[in-house]
Chains A and B, each alone.
Chain A
């Protein structure tokens, strides 16, 4: 069972490569989700309340990015940014593409969440004399975030899955690390299956965590 050529032996032999790949996947997903959420919150607020030129510009960004496959965005940013004279690693090009993609989706989600809050909340805020930023800070965003949570978790899972596309431009994340291992020992089925289960585990954990937070905060619905 542990002789050379068996799955367990080869997996143990490749453990550092695979773990480094998993770490890269985690780092990529983390950075992407943080960047995406920041763009999303700013973009969502601007899409709801910004002056029309800003809204128009953001609408163009969001609709364009949502209509183009992620892989095309990744390849575009990988080949295109280099053309602009920016010396850029595949990792950074991938973060730019995935972050921009995540940001567009988040912006739309945040806009939806903000606009789904009844107008009465805004009116009540105005009536007690809150300024725009106070209304946003104390009235709208706290409610919006609760509505945001389920789609936010979905997007987070999508981003973890999306990091696999960076294997195509040569970022050694879990998928490419797995492929490198397979190239060495030809245990195709076993290693793809193991990597797949690892992704399922991570994503399932994220979903469950999201569901837990959702249950914890669900008591507050006006």
Chain B
């Protein structure tokens, strides 16, 4: 095989690739933030005394976790306009999908976190006279976030990798840009090697950063 590597074309559009990477990071971070809110609400819903609410949350989690994310993306992007929700752009639609997706996974994470809360923390909070909402806000949630920190950072990384699927609805993130460069220049190896390297470096950079955060804050049970 005689393949001549020529990275010139990659360097020429490297700024586009970096912009794509940056966009992907934003999409992931935004989805994690919204997904955290959804996941928290769902986790409390799973604990609720109301059986119908528990059933609804269970159905949501099981359907989303067993449904391919690509199908969800298409469903929201192409399907929802039929229901009259047509004011969403590509990016909004993708972030909504990824948030709903993340919410289902984070619901399970938070449920485990809430379940592993030592009972004595809540008892202590009751003993000093905190009301139920205060107990959640000042005692349960802070500790639970520190317990679930490792799982949260894993979720952020896997969400970042899932942003590559935004290419399917033509959002110009790294995978989409790489595909364009590949199609325009036929430098197959160069473009995909560069994209892979960028994803790898970013994933491990996020992991390294978050491990440092975990060392500082995580509660080891």
Contact = CB atoms under 8 A, between A and B. Distances in A.
Q: Do these two chains really belong together in a complex? A: yes
Interface of A: 64, 67-72, 75-76, 79-80, 82-85, 157, 160-165, 167-168, 175, 179, 182, 188-189, 192-193, 195-196, 199-200, 203-204, 207
26 contacts: A64-B196, A69-B163, A69-B199, A71-B164, A72-B195, A75-B182, A76-B192, A79-B192, A80-B189, A80-B192, A83-B3, A161-B67, A161-B68, A161-B69, A162-B68, A165-B70, A165-B165, A167-B70, A188-B78, A189-B79, A192-B78, A193-B79, A199-B66, A203-B66, A203-B67, A204-B66
Nearest to B203: A67
Mostly, the A contact residues are: helix
B148 to A, nearest CB: 18
B167 A71 contact: yes
B66 A79 contact: no
Interface string B59-87: 00011001111111011001110110000
Given A71-B164, A193-B75, 17 more contacts: A64-B200, A69-B161, A71-B175, A72-B164, A72-B192, A72-B195, A75-B175, A75-B179, A76-B196, A79-B182, A80-B188, A85-B1, A161-B69, A168-B167, A175-B74, A196-B71, A199-B67
Contacts of A195: 71
B55 interface: no
A72 B196 contact: yes
A200 B75 CA distance: 14
B79 A164 contact: no
A112 B163 CA distance: 28
A200 B58 CA distance: 13
Contacts of B204: 67
A64 B203 CA distance: 10
Given A175-B70, A204-B66, A196 B167 contact: no
B196 to A, nearest CB: 5
Given A83-B188, A189-B82, A68 B200 contact: yes
B60 to A, nearest CB: 12
Contacts of A80: 188-189, 192
A64 B196 CA distance: 9
A200 B62 contact: yes
A105 B175 CA distance: 22
Contact of A84 (B1, B74, B75, B79): B1
Contacts of A69: 161-165, 175, 199
